[in-house]
Structure 1
Amino acid sequence: MNTRILKYILLSLGLIYFGSCSDYLDKDPDDELTLEMVFGDKTRTEEWLANVYNQVEDPYTLYDRVEAMGDDFVVNPGWEQFGITIISYQTGNWNPASNWTPNYWNILPQKIRAAHIFIQNAKPNPAQLFSLKEVNYMKAEAKFLIAYYHYLLLRYYGSIPILDKITDIYGSEDEIMIGQRPYDEVVDWIDQQLIDAAKELPPMYEETQKYGRATSIMCHAIRARVLLLAASPLVNGNQDPAYLNYTNNKGEKVFNSVPQLSKWERAVEAYRTLLNLALDNGHKLYYEYLNDGSIDPFMSYQNVFFKKFNDGNKEILFARPENAHSLYEYVTQPRGTGGSGAVGVTQLLVDDFFMSNGLRPITGHNANGSPIINSASGYIEKGFSSKTEFRKTKWIESRNSTTEGQASEDYNPVTLAGTFNMYCNREPRFYISVLYNGCWYRREARETKFYLDSPDGGPTHDSPSNGYLARKKVHPDCDPRNNISPYRPAILVRLAEVYLSLAEALNEVSYSEEAIGYLNLIRERAGIPKYGTQQGEITPPANQDQLREAIRIERRVELNCEAALRFDDIRRWKIAAGILNNNFWGMNFYGTEKSDDDNNPDAFFVRKVYQKRMFKGYWMPIPQTDTDKNSNLRQLPGW
């Protein structure tokens, strides 16, 4: 075959599924667009790599693709009629032929192939001031993206092939129809790819226009995540029959059935390497302060998601510069304020936030959905507050009848008189994350009204199906009515996650005082008492099991509604079935009255089941069309 035609075919294969390619790919060229034409031009070379980048996850689009599969987000069931398939996943109406919107199994291999083509063909162009140093950086970026996309495939599918080269289109059937490799082999391969890429990349770029491009810190951040997943119970010593008997097309066991402590030790090493690299390069937790110099936990936690790296937010380790935050804000804003009011948070998440004294309010739930209350926490389930609660903060999203929040002051209202007691005296992260019925909504200068037939409530599906909307990552100055949506970074990895992950890995090796220290860094910034023996501190977890639980609940709260981390956690900890195969509760969608009377059908503030969920499997199934075409693929356990 003519070499020029062959290269054109390879180019075409590399561009399949590139739905957001730059304009030049959509034009009718005077001649065939060959690899020589692309990689002989600096702009086209840069655009090729940009198109490889465009499947880096956007954390503002995951709520109705991945995150609502877990127990953080609620996507209104009324959306199913509009083709939002995640509701079918929640209710167990799912099989390998189902359509999953990200379609990573088909799309990411195309990006991986395009990255390999880039590495093989990118070259300097002195006439266009395109240096060898810049080309080598870009090739290392492509290497990072190859590893990152393998991580995404591993993250969601578990049993995957290794796409370490461009498949020869004239190769044998075995070369084209690639089978899955053992899980640990894939982990080792991704690990080495990221180590190699990190050696060639800088820890950060000085050029603003390179924000979001791969760095050595990003390489080590994804490497650490991969190794944490590999050490976790789902794939490290899983004795379930489906995993014990699961083999690839060569008869090799895919998942390790014998627990290995060395995997946790390896994760510790990876997180230490990442943490040291990040700290050495100026990364740190993001803080905002009160006039008296103390930490403002409300503003610190809120603005870590809004402040850019160049504006002093050094907590960011990996962010996507472009994102769809305006759509996220639209679907999370109350219906009566210009939003659709259709994306909320679960009652399970509401129940898990700490009290202001740092204690857990609810330690579990009875079969009838009622909470098991920790009496020592001071939590009150029923009734309404008699006065406005003030806290030390510059957060101004609440007020009472006489006092508007003032950003210049250190003392501002947090909840109004008449607030349902369930929402009173909670920790700062609760108020930043949850929009509940009856809270003050500053932009509208009124309380939210989620009652049936009220401005923000039913009967349409564009209202909270369980009585809550998501508030986290929603900018307080956004205004869907007037298309105002302030820019913010789309954070995929931040330093708080690193501290929590290192704490977990340390504790799994052995009970660790160091791990408690990392938890305390997070709790201090969150404005709740630390673990310790000093006055005002909370008794530390006394053993490995207690510390494991403390770490898990801290992750649950600190990292809620972020980049599908909770969905990852409950799967890798092998607890997803117990959580997701259940009734999901919330406030009474049909409630019209400000009442908590369990015997009053019109009472809003009463726990009611809004959805029955059915959990089917820990991994996404391989699309049926692919197993039909490729006999070397084996469907995932549970499917």
Structure 2
Amino acid sequence: MKIFNKIRIVSAFILISIVSLSGCQKDLLDQQPLTDLSEGSFWSSEADAMLALTGIYNGSSVGNNGYNNELLILASMTDDSDYKNSKVGLIYSGYVVSSDGQVVGSIWQRAYRTIFKANYFLANIDKVKMDATKKAEVTAEAKFLRAYEYSLLAMYYGGVPLVKQVLSIEDSNNQVRNTLAEVTEFAKTELVAAAKDLPASRPDNQKGRILKAAALAVKGRLDLMDKKWADAVKTYKEIIDLNTHIIDPRYKAIFEERGENSKEIILSTNCIAGLYGNPQNQLGYHPDVYGGYQEDGALEELVSSYLMKDGLPIETSPLYDPANPFANRDPRIYATIFLPNYTVFNGVKFTTANSGIGKLVGATGYGWKKYVTEGYAGANNSSGDDIIHIRYAEVLLGYLEAKIENNEAITQALLDETINKVRGRAEVAMPNVTETDRTKLREIVRRERRIEFALERVIRYMDIRRWGIWFDVMEQQFHGMKLTDDPANYTASKVELTGKYRGHLMTINKKGTHKRGWALLPIPLTEIQLNPKLTQNPDY
């Protein structure tokens, strides 16, 4: 965060805070320097409380700016994206294993280190003499940061150990997994409590600290995941009634440094170029032709889901021209994806020849454009692009989905205040949705979520999991761009001979290579070795 991340913690607090359920190894303790502050004298002032709160933010899922391929690998666990060197069984292609430290281990360790810090903070904050309102607010922030980690742990791993207080090393290595319901209910209870003491907005000099809508939005995610539709309706309506957040008329700019003050952003990691920079956006996602790593490519399965400008699918719209497939599409496709033989970026056309096909095993002919900035001239490994976690668009679409699933009345007014606001932003201006049939509208909303949040962190992974379609959408042959109208005689690359994707590049084939239990991440092997009471998820 821009405020907190400038502070380096050099107190006894940071020494203790690394001893977590996931980090009890002796070598972790050996890596930390001794300090001249004692625990007994630390909790005495508001400044101490703010320093300790900073310690929770730093390294948490909210404050972490680290480059660990988390987004890359989780995107490869969906039907939207393919790793540049993909192959069946490779972790970067979404085949996670319990011994992986980049995603499986790092998410777990980050979460439990943050949880330990929050527990330690909450056990000591009452010692501090400070204004009661301020104390309630910082307590709410600590509760949020702990609950947010539990929400992610539940989403990724299912039921996990629910630790609510500081543990000794012996106790931490004897924890068992709580049920998924116990974890999500605890997180939701804490989020509701936190929301009561969090402000709806903050002055500029507090940018990056948690807002009321963030606590409620995370609860809304959990309500959807738990299929508590009535609760989700109530939670999302509470955010809407704050009248604090809006749908930004822009789209592409929201994901760049120039859009970091957008009122659509509810939760983000604030990055400062050169100081606490974003190491991924301007390096990992730029296609090779523009000087980047081109780590992932969008799949045709995602590209084909973008509607035409008239609001119809490519299969039925009279605007669709197979000879010019990217003309007259939903404008979000141009903001999100490098389109072959169509996109011009920094004065250079992105073409079949320079897209990576024939050079990179997993190249699809498409690239990620959402996170890169045209004309960017700074350090590629340290940009100022904030890392967005939650936007107001998610609130509106979640509210509508919950209304549908809760069998509530679907009116045009409801559509206009939710999905049509999202589609109607000035830079997108897609036709209004008028469908009120519940079954048809469900599919419209699901497609809208896929398009609006394409390649955004955990959303697609979360959605296909909670909709119960993860296994079905992952068990398929995936495709890239169309290469030929004569596939029978095309030999430069392997292409589809028949069907919907006739003539399209055949990328990774995941048929028969997945198990249903893999919808969850495995419990890290290192944790099971430390604590044999931890049971592994199915199929690992």
Range class of TM-score, shorter chain: 0.7 to 0.9
User: Hey, what does 2:514 align to over in structure 1?
Assistant: 615
1:51-100 Cα shifts (integer Å, max 9, x gaps) = 3222225698642242221122322126999xx8332x34xxx4434445
Q: Please, which runs of 5 or more residues in structure 2 have no aligned partner? A: 1-11, 25-30, 496-502
User: Hey, what does 1:502 align to over in structure 2?
Assistant: 399
The question of whether the paired residues in 1 share the 8 Å contact of 2:153 and 2:160 is answered with: yes
Alpha-carbon distance in structure 1 between the residues aligned to 2:87 and 2:493: 26
State the 1:286 CA deviation.
Answer: 0.6
The question of whether the paired residues in 2 share the 8 Å contact of 1:8 and 1:34 is answered with: no
User: Hey, what does 1:428 align to over in structure 2?
Assistant: 331
State the 1:348 CA deviation.
Answer: 0.8
Alpha-carbon distance in structure 2 between the residues aligned to 1:328 and 1:344: 14
Alpha-carbon distance in structure 1 between the residues aligned to 2:246 and 2:13: 47
Amino acid at match of 1:466: T
Give the length in aligned residue pairs: 498
State the 1:116 CA deviation.
Answer: 1.0
**Does 1:179 pair with 2:176?**
yes
User: Hey, what does 2:248 align to over in structure 1?
Assistant: 286
Max radius of gyration: which structure? Answer: 1
**Does 1:119 pair with 2:134?**
no
User: Hey, what does 1:565 align to over in structure 2?
Assistant: 459
Alpha-carbon distance in structure 2 between the residues aligned to 1:586 and 1:137: 49
Alpha-carbon distance in structure 1 between the residues aligned to 2:212 and 2:14: 33
SS of the residue corresponding to residue 205 of structure 2 reads helix
Alpha-carbon distance in structure 1 between the residues aligned to 2:232 and 2:459: 17
**TM-score, normalised with respect to structure 2:** 0.82
The percent identity for this pair of structures is 24
The question of whether the paired residues in 2 share the 8 Å contact of 1:560 and 1:566 is answered with: yes
User: Hey, what does 1:216 align to over in structure 2?
Assistant: 212
Alpha-carbon distance in structure 2 between the residues aligned to 1:621 and 1:484: 30
Change (3 A) 1:349 1:337: same
User: Hey, what does 2:267 align to over in structure 1?
Assistant: 318
Amino acid at match of 1:56: S
**TM-score, normalised with respect to structure 1:** 0.70
User: Hey, what does 2:415 align to over in structure 1?
Assistant: 516
The question of whether the paired residues in 2 share the 8 Å contact of 1:584 and 1:612 is answered with: yes
SS of the residue corresponding to residue 281 of structure 2 reads helix
SS of the residue corresponding to residue 64 of structure 1 reads helix
The question of whether the paired residues in 2 share the 8 Å contact of 1:596 and 1:603 is answered with: no
Alpha-carbon distance in structure 2 between the residues aligned to 1:624 and 1:145: 25
Amino acid at match of 1:601: T
State the 1:555 CA deviation.
Answer: 0.6
User: Hey, what does 2:77 align to over in structure 1?
Assistant: 69
Alpha-carbon distance in structure 1 between the residues aligned to 2:14 and 2:365: 55
Alpha-carbon distance in structure 2 between the residues aligned to 1:15 and 1:544: 45
1:586-628 Cα shifts (integer Å, max 9, x gaps) = 137xx7xxx5432232489941211122333221111234334
The question of whether the paired residues in 2 share the 8 Å contact of 1:11 and 1:34 is answered with: no
* 1:305 paired residue among 251, 255, 271: 255
State the 1:149 CA deviation.
Answer: 0.8
Alpha-carbon distance in structure 2 between the residues aligned to 1:163 and 1:16: 11
Amino acid at match of 2:467: W
Alpha-carbon distance in structure 1 between the residues aligned to 2:176 and 2:97: 21
User: Hey, what does 2:299 align to over in structure 1?
Assistant: 346
1:218-238 Cα shifts (integer Å, max 9, x gaps) = 11111111111111xxxxxxx
Change (3 A) 1:188 1:553: same
Alpha-carbon distance in structure 2 between the residues aligned to 1:209 and 1:34: 30
Change (3 A) 1:552 1:335: same
Change (3 A) 1:274 1:597: same
1:281-328 Cα shifts (integer Å, max 9, x gaps) = 3x21111xxxxxxxxxxxx221232366785x2111111112754522
The question of whether the paired residues in 2 share the 8 Å contact of 1:224 and 1:267 is answered with: yes
Alpha-carbon distance in structure 2 between the residues aligned to 1:627 and 1:578: 30
The question of whether the paired residues in 2 share the 8 Å contact of 1:346 and 1:468 is answered with: yes
SS of the residue corresponding to residue 338 of structure 2 reads strand
Change (3 A) 1:163 1:16: closer
State the 1:39 CA deviation.
Answer: 3.5
Worse-superposed segment, 104-113 or 217-226? 104-113
User: Hey, what does 2:110 align to over in structure 1?
Assistant: 107
Alpha-carbon distance in structure 1 between the residues aligned to 2:381 and 2:524: 39
Alpha-carbon distance in structure 2 between the residues aligned to 1:583 and 1:191: 38
1:140-159 Cα shifts (integer Å, max 9, x gaps) = 21111111111111110111
